[in-house]
Structure 1
Amino acid sequence: MVDEAAVVEQFIELARGTGDSLISFLPAFEDAVTVPETSTLVRTHFLAHDANGTPAVEQLAGAMANAALDFCIPRSKIEKAVAEYMDSRSTAAIVSLEEQARSLFVKSESSGEGGELLLFLLMERVLQRPQLISKMALKTNTEVHVHGSDGIHASFADDGVLDIYWGESKLYQSSTEAFRDCFESISPYLRSDGDSRRKQDLMLVRDHLNVTQRELAAHLFQYFDETNPKTLKVRWNGVCLVGFDHDNYPNVAVLDEPQQQAVSKAVSRWHRTIGNRLKEFEIVGVSIDLFCIPMPDVAELRSRVLKRMGAK
């Protein structure tokens, strides 16, 4: 008899890292808010500023680049490399995997893979929802983006339901375009008529499940077996990252009252836009976690991430 509580605990432990260091570069602005008449919870974050008053773009880029190995390489390969280090005390295998991970990224400043990497960090470190599949490891051409959703993560609810989270990230200059394109991209996976899209991704999960513990993997496979009643205990959810350029970039740590009110008004406008787009794409009733991250310059963040990865 499988100890389901132990299996759930095993799964939770798969989430890599903690949110403390990441959130020090991306502090939250006010509390998370559920958009009225929807099931979408919005968390708004701004980049922190250093002691010289400069937004922490370089620090965030470094945190993103340092997560490339976790994001791109399956746990089985990482564990093998770590075992080689423990046996030989040589880091050669680990360094080789790091090089493999960084080589998988498209060498273009217009690539959306930087957003996918940041979304991965938010999923694993902030929400503590482990990755089910490393799609980047399936790439056959490093100059082509991976098709489908930007990530698939999961968590177990208290009632034994497996919550699966489809991810979508958009880092655009325009907030209007970013919100629209984000929900347009993720809605096919979340609507009631999205069975074919979900099935395609879940077949990949079944064939390339990023879990090494045999008992845990066997338990998870039940949720993807169409002949198993556990498929009735799967719930679809979304996690979105929307980043965009924001003029007169605020240092949220030192805002006076009028500045706080001005930023709050901007956040309220974004919430209204989100609500309108959710209605437009007919996903108001689906549970979605949305990270709204205004930035000084999205293109600069992309460029710095590529540079930190040695791509420029």
Structure 2
Amino acid sequence: MDDDADLIERFLALARGEDQALLAFLPPFDDAVLVPGTATTVRTPFVAHDINGAPAVDQLAGTMAGAVLDFCIPRAKTEKANAEYRETGSTSSLVALVEQARDLFVKSEKSGEGGELLLFLLMERLLHRPQLLSKMALKTNTQVHVHGSDGIHASLADDGVLDVYWGESKLYASSSDAFKDCFESIAPYLSPDGDSRRRQDLLLVRDHLNVDEARLAAHLLEYFDDSNPKTLQVRWNGVCLVGFDHANYPNIAALTDANRAAVTAAVKRWHKTVFSRVEQFEVLSVGIDLFCIPMPDVATLRARVLERMGVK
């Protein structure tokens, strides 16, 4: 058991970054809520405001851009560059990796990759579920989005169960479109038998597992070996990011009673929408973490992230 506990602790340690800066720019409006009649937990953060009353979109974009290396580049490559820095004092290899990561992004302000990057941050920094696969690193055409799910993360439980989280992110101007398209996209990965998309992503995990410590990697790969009984201990889950434009954007740190009541009513409407989509796509009993993020303007956030990364 001590050996298993050590593996679990080492796996948890793979989650990168501190959550405080992200929480400062994306504070929660209320506690996480389990939508009645489902296994979906909804968190509703809002973009914070600065002391001048302006939404901190640029600061959030900077935090997102600062995670581009972690998001795009496999741990083995960053560790090799870190080792070179420790040995030589030169950051040239790290700088080269940052440039490589930036070059992987589609050069378009309409790209959905900003949402994927934010979902990665929320998974690693807030939920502490490490990335299993760096799909961006597998791109062969930098002007084409990666196929399949928007992210694959996991957690390892004390009882030996490996919880795999299939990610899907949608940043749309319309909340109704974002909710619908998000659940429509992720539902095939959460069905009991899965489909070709899930099987394809599992093959990628097996062949490109983003874990550079040999013994831990060997342990995890047992869960993806069809001949190993550990495959019976893999549980499928979803993690979703739904971001959308929200008019008259509220500063949730300085709400009047009337404004708080209006935001609470909006949140309840979004919860009802979540239930209807979870029911529609038949994933009522599947564990799903949903980040519902109203934004001042989705397009502005996308543009700011690219600017902060130096991508034109």
Alignment-derived partner of residue 70 in structure 2:
70
For 1:9-24, list aligned pairs within 5 A.
9-24=9-24
Q: Give the Cα–Cα distance (whole angstroms) in 2 for the partners of residues 249 and 2 of structure 1.
A: 50
For 1:3, what is the secondary structure of its paired residue?
A: helix
Query: CA RMSD for the aligned pairs?
Result: 1.0
Letter in 2 for 1:51: I
For 1:81-100, list aligned pairs within 5 A.
81-100=81-100
Alignment-derived partner of residue 241 in structure 1:
241
Alignment-derived partner of residue 297 in structure 1:
297
Q: Give the Cα–Cα distance (whole angstroms) in 2 for the partners of residues 108 and 269 of structure 1.
A: 32
Letter in 2 for 1:98: V
For 2:292, what is the secondary structure of its paired residue?
A: strand
Alignment-derived partner of residue 185 in structure 1:
185
Superposition deviation, residue 170 in structure 1 = 0.2
Alignment-derived partner of residue 252 in structure 2:
252
Q: Give the Cα–Cα distance (whole angstroms) in 1 for the partners of residues 228 and 269 of structure 2.
A: 45
User: How many percent of aligned residue pairs carry the same amino acid?
Assistant: 70
Alignment-derived partner of residue 163 in structure 2:
163
Alignment-derived partner of residue 173 in structure 2:
173
Superposition deviation, residue 36 in structure 1 = 1.1
Letter in 2 for 1:232: L
- 1:130 maps onto 2:137 in alignment: no
Q: Give the Cα–Cα distance (whole angstroms) in 2 for the partners of residues 214 and 157 of structure 1.
A: 20
Per-residue CA shift, 1:149-197, capped at 9, x if unaligned?
Answer: 0000000122110000000000000000000000000000001241433
Letter in 2 for 1:245: D
After TM superposition, the structure 1 stretch with the greater mean CA deviation from structure 2, 301-310 or 241-250, is 301-310
The question of whether the paired residues in 1 share the 8 Å contact of 2:8 and 2:157 is answered with no
For 2:16, what is the secondary structure of its paired residue?
A: coil
Q: Give the Cα–Cα distance (whole angstroms) in 2 for the partners of residues 80 and 160 of structure 1.
A: 31
Alignment-derived partner of residue 207 in structure 1:
207
Q: Give the Cα–Cα distance (whole angstroms) in 2 for the partners of residues 48 and 200 of structure 1.
A: 38
Letter in 1 for 2:36: P
After TM superposition, the structure 1 stretch with the greater mean CA deviation from structure 2, 53-62 or 189-198, is 189-198
For 1:242, what is the secondary structure of its paired residue?
A: strand
Q: TM-score if structure 1 supplies the norm length?
A: 0.99
For 1:254, what is the secondary structure of its paired residue?
A: coil
Q: Give the Cα–Cα distance (whole angstroms) in 1 for the partners of residues 278 and 185 of structure 2.
A: 12
Q: TM-score if structure 2 supplies the norm length?
A: 0.99
Per-residue CA shift, 1:275-311, capped at 9, x if unaligned?
Answer: 0001111111100000000000000000011111112
Letter in 2 for 1:234: V
- 1:59 maps onto 2:59 in alignment: yes
For 1:252, what is the secondary structure of its paired residue?
A: coil
Q: Give the Cα–Cα distance (whole angstroms) in 2 for the partners of residues 32 and 92 of structure 1.
A: 42
Alignment-derived partner of residue 280 in structure 1:
280
For 1:267, what is the secondary structure of its paired residue?
A: helix
Per-residue CA shift, 1:124-156, capped at 9, x if unaligned?
Answer: 000000000100000000000000000000001
- 1:36 maps onto 2:48 in alignment: no
After TM superposition, the structure 1 stretch with the greater mean CA deviation from structure 2, 42-51 or 156-165, is 156-165
Per-residue CA shift, 1:18-71, capped at 9, x if unaligned?
Answer: 211101000001111111110000000000000100000000000111100000
Q: Give the Cα–Cα distance (whole angstroms) in 2 for the partners of residues 203 and 296 of structure 1.
A: 39
Q: Give the Cα–Cα distance (whole angstroms) in 2 for the partners of residues 252 and 176 of structure 1.
A: 22
Q: Structure 1 unaligned runs (5+)?
A: none
Q: Give the Cα–Cα distance (whole angstroms) in 2 for the partners of residues 97 and 6 of structure 1.
A: 31
Q: Give the Cα–Cα distance (whole angstroms) in 2 for the partners of residues 205 and 98 of structure 1.
A: 23
Alignment-derived partner of residue 45 in structure 1:
45
For 2:124, what is the secondary structure of its paired residue?
A: helix
Superposition deviation, residue 198 in structure 1 = 2.1
The question of whether the paired residues in 1 share the 8 Å contact of 2:8 and 2:158 is answered with no
Q: Give the Cα–Cα distance (whole angstroms) in 1 for the partners of residues 290 and 270 of structure 2.
A: 11
Per-residue CA shift, 1:92-137, capped at 9, x if unaligned?
Answer: 0000000000000000011000000000000000000000010000
After TM superposition, the structure 1 stretch with the greater mean CA deviation from structure 2, 191-200 or 287-296, is 191-200
